Amino acid sequence: MKIFKNKTGLSVVVTTLIILVVSVLLATVVTFYAINVTTTRVQEESIQLFKLHTWHNGTNFAETAFLIINTGGRDIVIDKISVRGQECSWDTIYYNKTTDTINGDLGYVTPNTDGTLTGMNASVGGSTSDYALTVASDDLILKSGWSMIVYITNPDHISVSDIGVTVGVTVFTANAQYYKEANVEAAQ
Query: What does the pLDDT average to over 90-95?
Result: 92
**pLDDT of 157:** 82
- Residue 35 to residues 21, 39, 45, Cα–Cα distance (Å): 21, 6, 18
**pLDDT of 128:** 59
**pLDDT of 18:** 87
Residues 6+ apart with CB under 8 A from 163: 56, 184, 185, 186
Quickly list H helices, 49-118: none
Report the percentage of the chain scoring pLDDT > 90.
40
Counting beta carbons within 10 angstroms of the beta carbon of residue 81, is it exposed (0 to 12), middle (13 to 18) or buried (19 or more)? buried
Query: Above 80 in pLDDT, residue 57?
Result: yes
169/144 Cα distance (integer angstroms): 22
**Band of pLDDT at residue 113, cut at 50, 70 and 90:** confident
Q: How many CB atoms lie within 10 A of CB 123?
A: 16
53/83 Cα distance (integer angstroms): 11
Query: Above 70 in pLDDT, residue 151?
Result: yes
Query: What does the pLDDT average to over 81-105?
Result: 89
List of domains in the chain: 47-186 (2.60.40)
